[in-house]
Structure 1
């Protein structure tokens, strides 16, 4: 799958969520579109690759569960707390792995980056803390601002901040890269 298709499948449902909410100012309608677009994106991803990458699958399951609860119970709370729960879950998995001596981030990303275990530990701490910060930010925004602001924050602030945070990790990746001969063995 090319990068543009991957980006559209991963970001498309979220952009549609924002667009529909902006047009209708109705979170229920936007949530319905979000859930349906997520199901379509996962299905298309499967048809193209004969598999669904782990992170989009996990995110998609949470969208379907929390979006479904939002729609079924007609309560915005569920879609608004989804980012908090997902981010805290990711942080707990990363920190729990560290406590058990496991580098779960390495398991997910080692095909993309070959770094030392020390590098993976540093990245795991950083990403774990970042997920906690995202969870706190989500709680502050949905509890203190209107729904339209929360949706815009979710799409236009969290996504770029996450990309910038990822880019800020490049020096750690470069500093802890495996030597070329170890990369070949990995």
Structure 2
């Protein structure tokens, strides 16, 4: 029995060594294609998606969600979404963009899917996601502004194109200056 265990351990060590050398070879030679116009293999895409989802879930746990149902909060978030997010995440009546076409992985279409967990959405908006094109808005926007975007995202799937346009409409420049 000890010989069998020793053989298994040696076999396992050899397999690990081969995997490490193979990984190092791919890394050193640059043979893995990181071009955004070629999708990851299924294995890599699955691993990256799993890592991303588990990370966001873990980091978002315990974030207290404020009342995000106030209409003024939704309206403020709508304007920010139109300025910062619509080119990647789309909106009613805006089904694609040149920027979105060049992103890999494709960002979620938030007007079709919305957000189901406000804490996860807040964490993602605040901290961004490495190597996806999702910026970390927490360095340039306070938490109140980020929560207003989450408030808007909760409403977004219910909006018609006309309602979206009404909510995201910017007041004329002379009106903005008067405020």
TM-score normalised by length of structure 2: 0.28
Structure with the higher fraction of residues in helix conformation: 1
